[in-house]
Amino acid sequence: MAFSLTAADPQTIPEDGGREIVIEGTFELENPYKVHIGSNGSSVDPACYSGKPGQGSIIYPWTSGALRCYSPVLAPGGPYTVTVVNQDTAEEHQLVAEVIVVERQFWTSVYDLRKILPKFYKTGPRNIGLEPM
């Protein structure tokens, strides 16, 4: 049975990666897939991650209608193409111009929380001036 793609949610993601993305469509539950996001529209684009220990970028469907993965670090821009490859059959489908990557946003509430937590929590920079450029 072939698989199909209908949409990616959300369509706007931050550049720093780790954002959950749900690819909607029709999938075979037992088959492993790889999801790539980039401007080439092929399997050479950066791969998304499964979020499960030991699986790396091999992703198994969450349901027969959804594939859940996590974004890699990407350069701001787009729209980028989402490519999904069935690892058993090498079948490949694309959602062209589906995802836009935006620059990381800095929220003051994040820094306020980091300032009150102990330093050994390693929550990251405690003010915007300490962020790496």
Tell me the whole-structure pTM to 2 decimals.
Answer: 0.80
Q: What is the DSSP string of 31-93?
A: S-EEEEEESS-STTSPBPB--STTTTT-B--SBTTEEEEE-----SEEEEEEEEEETTT--EE
In Å, how far are 35, 58, 74, 88 from 30, measured between CA atoms? 16, 12, 29, 10
pLDDT of the residue at 127 = 83
Tokens 């037992």 sit on residue: 30
pLDDT of the residue at 110 = 81
Whether 11 and 99 have beta carbons less than 8 Å apart is answered as yes
Do 131 and 86 belong together in one domain?
A: no
Do 90 and 126 belong together in one domain?
A: no
Question: How many alpha carbons lie under 13 Å from residue 23 in its C-beta half-sphere?
Answer: 32
In DSSP terms, which residues pair with 80 in a beta bridge? 99
- Based on the structure, what is the number of domains in the chain? 2
pLDDT of the residue at 1 = 61
State both tokens at 118: 């102990």
State both tokens at 109: 């509430």
Domain that holds residue 60: 4-102
Do 68 and 125 belong together in one domain?
A: no
Do 46 and 16 belong together in one domain?
A: yes
Per-residue pLDDT of the chain (133 residues; tens, 9 = 90+): 689 999 999 999 999 888 999 999 999 999 999 999 999 999 999 999 999 999 999 999 999 999 999 999 999 998 999 999 999 999 999 999 999 999 877 777 788 888 888 888 888 888 878 887 6
pLDDT of the residue at 12 = 95
Whether 15 and 99 have beta carbons less than 8 Å apart is answered as no
Do 37 and 85 belong together in one domain?
A: yes
Do 117 and 74 belong together in one domain?
A: no
